[in-house]
Amino acid sequence: MNWHETHALVTGGTRGIGLELVTQLLARGAKVTATGTTDSSLAEARDRLPQVTWLPLNQADSSSRESFIQALPAQGMSLVIHNAGVQQMRDWTSDWTKPQAEVAFDTSSEMAVNFVGPAELTRLLLPRLAREKSARIVFITSGLALAPKSSSPVYCASKAAVRSFAKSLRAQVNQAGWRILIQEALPPLVDTDMTRGRGKGKISAATAASQILTGVAKGRAEIDVGATALLRFILRLSPALGERIMIGR
């Protein structure tokens, strides 16, 4: 893979793993377009990395997705990394008893950001990618797509949905003979704003991004990041044990 000939799109590129992906792609020589959801985050990102084309995108909103596609640079794009995501920590057995001002369930929004958005963006981007000599679409899911935890049921379900979507899309693209590689990256718990204050044994966003891009360059269909490789091994030996390990996290 020649990074100097790569034009990459990274969703959710203003912080966390996304920001590290943008930074490391630039260091490898790639041209980068990235997204953010708020004016303030985009302004800060432009000041930090002015060589990136920063565009607004609320991938849960259909009109925002359409506007984003229209605003994309005309140059060819050969790599799409679906990174943007949100996670709600919700106890479905007790949170509903609390005042709405204290806790608000937003299942549809979480699924829209994490699953509907990437799926619909992929649909809109496929005609553009199909014109390239070769292209790659990377879905960043999670080790939780293999075995869920109890504290965020909708997040786990959304990541499992993206994993299933990626597998089906890969089969369709292969059957059509298109030169688009569908890849999935499965990070473990990563030290980002989204995970602040919870969990142990986190890896850094820089480490996660580096391993993801290494797997992308090697053309791996599934990229196990950090401890996800160990989880997959345990699940092969004993699915029940693997799920018991993960469910209480």
Give the active site residues.
155
Order of strands, sheet of 31-36, starting from the edge strand that comes earlier in the sequence = 53-56, 31-36, 7-10, 79-82, 135-140, 180-186, 222-224
CA distance 180 to 112: 24
Closest residue by Cα to residue 183 from 207, 167, 161, 206? 167
Amino acid at 244: R
- 107-123 burial: b if 16+ Cβ within 10 Å, else e: eebbbbbbbbbbbbbbe
- DSSP assignment letter at 151: S
The H-assigned helical ranges of the chain are 16-28, 39-48, 62-71, 107-111, 117-130, 153-176, 205-218, 228-237, 239-247
> Cα separation of 131 and 141, whole Å?
26
CA distances in angstroms from 1 to 82, 164, 176, listed in the order given? 19, 26, 22
Cβ atoms of 136 and 216 closer than 8 Å: yes
